[in-house]
Structure 1
Amino acid sequence: MKSDWYKNAIIYQIDTALFFDADGDGCGDLQGITQRLDYIRGIGATSVWLTPFYLTPFRDGGYDISDHLRVDSRFGDVADMVMLVERAEELGLHVIIELVLQHTSSEHIWFQQARRDRNSPYRDYYIWADTPPEKDDAPMFPGVEKSVWSWDEEAQQYYRHMFYHHEPDLNLSCPKVITEIERVIVFWLRMGVSGFRFDAASHMVKQAGQGSEEKGYDLLTHLRDFISHRRPETLLLGEVDVPAEKYRNYFGNNNRLSMLLSFNLNKKFYVSLARKDATALLQALEELPSPPFRACFANWLRNHDELDLDGLSKAEKRDVMKSFGPDKNMHVYQRGLRRRLAPMLKGNIKRLAMAHAVLFSLPGTPVLRYGDEIGMGDDLQLEERNAVRTPMQWSDLACAGFSEAEPEKLIAPVIDTGPYRYQKVNVNASLIKDDSLLHRVSKIARARLGLNEIGSGDYHVINTQNTAIFALRYDYGKDGLLLLANFCSRQVTAEINENDIAGLIECLADKEYKQSGTLMPPLSITLNGYGYRWFSIIKARDK
């Protein structure tokens, strides 16, 4: 197996409980995912990322884990996970699973033992205080949680929880906790998974260092070393929402995380979408630090959480909120939006396809959230982030073809009203329409698979003298790429003045243009409103 396979991967993110229900109990499961792996491979993905399937009370979408070594019965059993990995391997798909180390469920046996007895060996697994410190981090869910400290009547102490009060923080400076984590890692490596996504990695680091990030990085170094000795090709993907200048600390010198979710690019992407101007995204690309040679970034449009806008300027945040969150009901946690991509872009297929073309153009690995490829909507009647966590819409059959259960038994309601209702937006309907978003995204993904320049090459921004145009060039050895997209609705022209370009060979476009195929200088390239065009570069020979 190639050790840096993830640099040229396409990751498809799945909510385990919401993708497909194979046993008809109303909840998505591992067998259901296995049955739909052909679909995922068919749209061009090379990896699947599964949200937690471990034993859980399911008060936080499964991220509240009560046993990291057991599969929750609603999702299946260990044998189902083995069969999923087996089928994925047959199809050439890697399987990435969540490693949630920052906290557990309050129902975890560790916490239950810890709260009962101060002398329990599990007491040190969590963070306790007789009196909470005067200064500490603000809770991750303001408006829902008042503090990161809660009183436990049974323990007669306060315990710390960065997230919900039913998710106590693990004491990651405790050696026994690290030993437990190593057991979890070895167990799932032996099951054949290809990678782990470290949930809340920046908070995990801070906890490991007892408030000091510098000390906490040692945990990442240790885990990378531990895993590399067993499976050196394993992906370690980190959820790291920190300023871009801190990214290097999480990569280390190829000895910490191998991939970071680039929140900075994601936020700036939405500034450019809101303004119909590529400037913010292109500036963010120029400011992005280069990862070590074995590492890369992961990019996405939407995920299973809120669209976090922290870190943007007041003007940038205002513009994004005005365009994509005009109603207060769309806001959450005083920092972001609880919306899916398609409703934010008003279901405009051309614009949605352009956004995906830009996503697949960015340096690093693209992550596609389930349902975005067909333009699924959100359900703002659901609380908090659950608005973007609705069942996959497979067909216009009852319950969107997600489950044969009665609607009232579904783990989450399907969207059955409005322009994004499952009767209108579903996989089956998308498959039979040649110009559907699904076909456009799949075409983009398949084009991306053959272009290693994006995953492995160097890039630089090209100034086309038009702020609506996204223009990026990659060079990888003798090969080169020119990737263009138009963020606005009117037709534009990109003037390309690169001295070493002798010609361009078109390899992807939103439609056939009057001048297409092979283009020769002078390069004046037309782009439709929300259009996109990719070219291989014919480089001039040195004289």
Structure 2
Amino acid sequence: MNSDWYKNAIIYQVDTAYFFDANNDGIGDISGILKHLDYIRGLGANALWLTPFYLTPFRDDGYDVKDHLTVDPRFGDIADMVMLLEQAEEMGLRVIIELILQHTSSEHRWFQEARKDRHSPYRDYYIWADEPPENDDPPMFPGVEESVWSWDETAQQYYRHMFYHDEPDLNLACPAVINEIERVILYWLRLGVSGFRLDAASHLIKQAGKGDVKKGLGLLNHLRNFVAVRHPETILLGEVDVPPQQYSDYFGDNDRLHMLLSFSLNKAMFLSFAHKDARPLVKALDDIPTPPARACLANWLRNHDELDLAGLSPAERRDVIKEFGPEQDTHIYQRGLRRRLASMFENDTAKIAMAYSVLFSLPGTPVIRYGDEIGMSENLSLNERNAVRTPMQWDTTRNAGFSQAERDKLIAPVMVRGPNRYRLVNVSKSQIQNHSLLHLVSNMARTRLGCKEIGSGTHKIIDMKMPSLFAIRYDYDGDALLMITNLSDKKVQVELNEPEIMMLTELLADEEYAKSGLLKATDRFPVNGYGYRWFTLKYTRE
């Protein structure tokens, strides 16, 4: 049993509806994911994170859940899910699914029963008020929703919704709701999932504490204990966008979240990329408390939402937007960008690979979003965050190989124009090109899987006296690793000032710098513009 598997994992995130359509109805499905597990495993990933596949009106990409215990017929049935879990296990792929506790769809049976009758046992499942409080949180989607409270004519009360008005917030201080959540967790545990991603974790904790985060954190203790006594290898991965000083609250003492999606590092990475200067990222790393022994960060470049820049200063935000999305139609929610990775980096393979080298160098577990490994782009004609939710581009055949359905039946249009159109950017083409982005990312992922020093060891930043260089060292059980990435387009000469290092052995690089792959620590050595060099170290031990 490997109860710390998540600390040495590569997670591949798949949007269920957009990955592959096996039954040709125009919508991606679970059977479609099953058909491409070999691709995911071959990429180097050993964990698969699925976005929601539950019964849903699908107004919010499936995060508006109508029934947590039912697979939406658009995506298949429970037998398809069992087949996926079975095959994934045989291939060494763990499966992480969404646990959406913060809200449900307004079409959920609980809400429909709750709104009919103030005395219904389901009334307390949600948060109601005769008059909304004067001071409440602003809506999560400014410009789309005006308030976190909406009037329900049937209920004759206001109900709270942190997100969209058709996603009422659950009352997580209600014991009956917690019992329902336990039923959901048990169901999916029995089917064989390896983890749950807690959507909107910081908001659900606040709801559990009736506005008091400290009180609400007890829910994480309860959930951790609930899964640990049944399946000790199961993880809880939290979406937690809070200041890094608060991360410790969500980890607890190895008794809350196993993994935390680090928004602070994500924002700092893009500020460093915009400035071609590693110092914002180094500062962000310094600001994060060391996670407890059985916990770690999860890091990503892009996800299924916006690139959220809230928390950066106005000047820093302007710099990132100027560099990666100056056009007005790329902006969203007054705080970020609705763009994919490749277009932000002008489809420059070297730049994108540089960003991945930084991602894989960070302490914690890397997350790759489907399609980013081949350089897919956003579709800005789609509303809000849907711009970054488009069909996977498999090949040059009909509908990018995603589906054989008629084009007007597709869940979202495939990219047919621009430099990232599917005839130019697709898996098949990437697989036969030796220096494609897919090959570079895959090499990094597979190399990273072998670096136990990152998941199990300690890290320290190495000051190279050059702001453009991000250099980090890991030590574990007598082994050491040094990872250097150049964030600028200028080639640099590096000199190590680490007296105990005797020899460096090249582990991975953007090109073959030295035939032997060996360097003395006293040697000066180059790193290309947007280049990277990873080394194992031989050093003197005191």
Q: TM-score interval w.r.t. the shorter chain?
A: over 0.9
Structure 1 SS opposite 2:286: helix
Alpha-carbon offset, residue 541 of structure 1: 3.9
Q: Distance in 1 between matches of 2:261 and 2:41?
A: 22
Code of the residue aligned with 1:425 in structure 2: it is: V
Runs of 5+ consecutive residues of structure 2 not aligned to the other structure: none
In the alignment, residue 497 of structure 1 is paired with which amino acid?
Answer: N
Deviations 1:425-472 (A, max 9, x none): 000010110010000000001110110111111101111110001100
Which stretches of structure 1, 4 residues or longer, exceed 4 Å deviation after superposition?
none
Q: What secondary structure is seen at the aligned counterpart in 1 of 2:483?
A: strand
Sequence identity percentage: 66
Partner in structure 2 of residue 194 of structure 1: 194
Q: Does 1:142 align with 2:142?
A: yes
1:233 offset after TM fit, Å? Answer: 1.1
For 2:496, the equivalent position in structure 1 comes to 496
For 1:212-361, list aligned pairs within 5 A: 212-361=212-361
Q: Which amino acid aligns with 1:534?
A: W
Is 1:87 matched with 2:111? no
Structure 1 segment 306-455 matched on structure 2, within 5 A: 306-455=306-455
Query: Residue by residue, what CA displacement relative to the aligned partner does 1:26-61 show, whole Å, maximum 9, x if unpaired?
Result: 000000000000000001000000000000000000
| Aligned residue number for residue 10 of structure 2 | 10
- Report the residue type matching 1:45 in the other structure: A
Question: Deviation string for 1:71-125 (max 9, x for gaps)?
Answer: 0000000000000000001100000000000000000000000001111000000
Tell me the distance in 1 between the aligned counterparts of 2:339 and 2:509.
28
Amino acid at match of 1:489: D
Conserved? CA contact 1:286–1:460, under 8 Å: no
**Map of 2:540 onto structure 1:** 540
Is 1:156 the counterpart of 2:156? The answer is yes
| 3-state SS of 1:312 partner | coil
Give the CA deviation at 1:325: 1.3
- Partner secondary structure for residue 103 of structure 2: coil
Task: Name the SS for the 2:49 alignment partner.
Answer: strand
Hey, what's the Cα distance between the residues in 2 that align with 1:81 and 1:425? 30
Task: Give the residue type in structure 2 aligned to 1:80.
Answer: D
Q: Over aligned residues, Cα RMSD in angstroms?
A: 0.8
Q: How does 1:34-53 map to 2 (within 5 A)?
A: 34-53=34-53
Give the whole-Å Cα distance in 2 for the aligned partners of 1:104 and 1:265.
29
Q: Is the Cα–Cα contact under 8 Å of residues 286 and 461 in structure 1 kept in the other structure?
A: no
Rounded to whole Å, the distance in 2 between the matches of 1:494 and 1:320 is: 28
Tell me if the contact between 1:469 and 1:494 (Cα under 8 Å) persists in the aligned partners.
Answer: no
The one-letter code sitting in structure 2 at the alignment partner of 1:261 is L
Q: Classify the secondary structure of the residue corresponding to 2:361.
A: coil
For these two proteins, the number of residue pairs brought into alignment is 542
Which consecutive residues of structure 1, in runs of 5 or more, have no partner in the other structure? none
Q: Is the 8 A contact 1:465 1:495 kept in 2?
A: no
User: SS at 1:475's partner residue?
Assistant: strand
Aligned to 1:54: 54
- How much does 1:309 deviate? 0.4
For 1:212 and 1:473, the matched residues in 2 are separated by 39
**Is 1:210–2:235 an aligned residue pair?**
no
Give deviations 1:165-186, integer Å, cap 9, x for gaps. 0000000000000000000000
Match for residue 474 of structure 2?
A: 474
* Equivalent-residue separation in structure 2 for 1:277 and 1:67 (angstroms): 47
In the superposition, the TM-score normalised over structure 2's length comes to 0.99
Per-residue deviation, 1:514: 4.2
- What do residues 286-322 of structure 1 show as CA deviations (whole Å, max 9, x unaligned)? 2221000000000000000000001111221111010
TM-score of the two chains, using structure 1 as the length reference:
0.99
- What do residues 2-44 of structure 1 show as CA deviations (whole Å, max 9, x unaligned)? 0010000000000000000000000000000000000000010
Structure 2 residue 512 is the aligned partner of structure 1 residue 512 = yes
How far residue 524 of structure 1 moved from its aligned partner, in angstroms, is 2.0
CA distance in 1, matches of 2:424, 2:477: 46
Give 1:515 deviation, angstroms. Answer: 6.9
Tell me by how many angstroms 1:521 deviates: 2.5
* Distance in 2, Cα, partners of 1:297 & 1:132: 36
